[in-house]
Amino acid sequence: MNIPEHFQINSKGHLEVSGCDTVELAKRFGTPLYVLDETRIRQNCRDYVAGLAEAYPDTQVCYAGKAFLCRAICCLMQQEGLGLDVVSGGELYTALKAGFPPDAIYFHGNNKSREELEIALQNGVGCLVIDGFYEIELLNELLAGKEKRQPVLLRLAPGVEAHTHVYTRTGQEDSKFGLAINGGQALQGVKAILNSPRLELLGFHAHIGSQIFDLASYEITAGILAGFMAEVRAETGFVAKVLNLGGGLGIRYTRDDKPLPVREAAKRTGQMVREVFSTLDYPRPKLVLEPGRSIVGDAGVTLYTIGNIKTIPGIRKYVMVDGGMADTPRVALYQAVYEAVIANKAGRPAEEVVTVAGKACESGDILIWDIPLAAPEPGDILAVFATGAYTYSMASNYNRLPRPAVVLVAEGQRELIVARETYEQIVANDLLPRRLCPQNERVVAEG
Ligand code: LLP
Q: Which alpha helices (H) appear in 195-239, and where do they start and end?
A: 216-236
Output the residue whose Cα is nearest ligand 1's atom 16. 390
Domain that holds residue 74: 38-294
pLDDT number for residue 222? 96
Residue 203 domain-assigned? Answer: yes
Q: Does 206 share its domain with 341? A: no
Residue 216 lies in a domain: yes
Do 246 and 171 fall into the same domain?
yes
Share of the chain above pLDDT 70, in %: 95
Global confidence as pTM: 0.96
Does the residue 359 lie in any domain?
A: yes
446 is a domain residue: no
CA distance 282 to 286: 12
- The pLDDT value given to residue 446: 60
| Residue 361 falls in the annotated catalytic set | yes
Distance 130 CA to ligand 1 centre (A): 17
- The answer to the question of residue 305 being in a domain is yes
Q: Both 21 and 131 in a single domain?
A: no
Are residue 183 and residue 302 in the same domain, yes or no?
no
One domain, residues 230 and 303: no
331 and 198, same structural domain?
no
Give me the catalytic one of 20, 70, 75, 361.
361
Q: Rounded to the nearest whole angstrom, what is the distance from the C-alpha of residue 186 to the centroid of ligand 1?
A: 22
**pLDDT beneath 70: ranges in the chain:** 1, 162-171, 440-447
Report how far ligand 1's centroid is from the alpha carbon of 67 (Å). 7
What is the C-alpha separation between 299 and 290, in angstroms, rounded? 17
In testing the pocket of ligand 1, which one of 86, 208, 293 has its CB within 8 Å of the most ligand atoms? Answer: 293
The last residue of a domain, from among 294, 311, 329: 294
Q: Are residues 32 and 47 in the same domain?
A: no
Q: Report how many domains make up the chain.
A: 2
End-to-end CA distance of the chain: 50
CATH number, position 313: 2.40.37.10
DSSP states of 257-291: --PPPHHHHHHHHHHHHHHHHHTTTSPPPEEEE--
One domain, residues 335 and 358: yes
- How many whole angstroms separate alpha carbon 178 and alpha carbon 186? 8
Q: What percent of the chain has pLDDT over 90?
A: 91
Nearest-atom index, ligand 1, CA of 155: 3
Shared domain check, 272 and 359: no
Task: Give the integer Cα–Cα distance in Å for 139 and 71.
Answer: 28
Co-location of 91 and 26 in the same domain: no
pLDDT digits (tens, 9 = 90+) for 114-137: 999 999 999 999 999 999 999 999
User: Is the CB of 67 inside a 6 Å radius of any atom of ligand 1?
Assistant: yes
How close is the Cα of 442 to the center of ligand 1, in Å?
A: 47
Whether residues 351 and 220 share a domain: the answer is: no
Same domain, 269 and 314: no
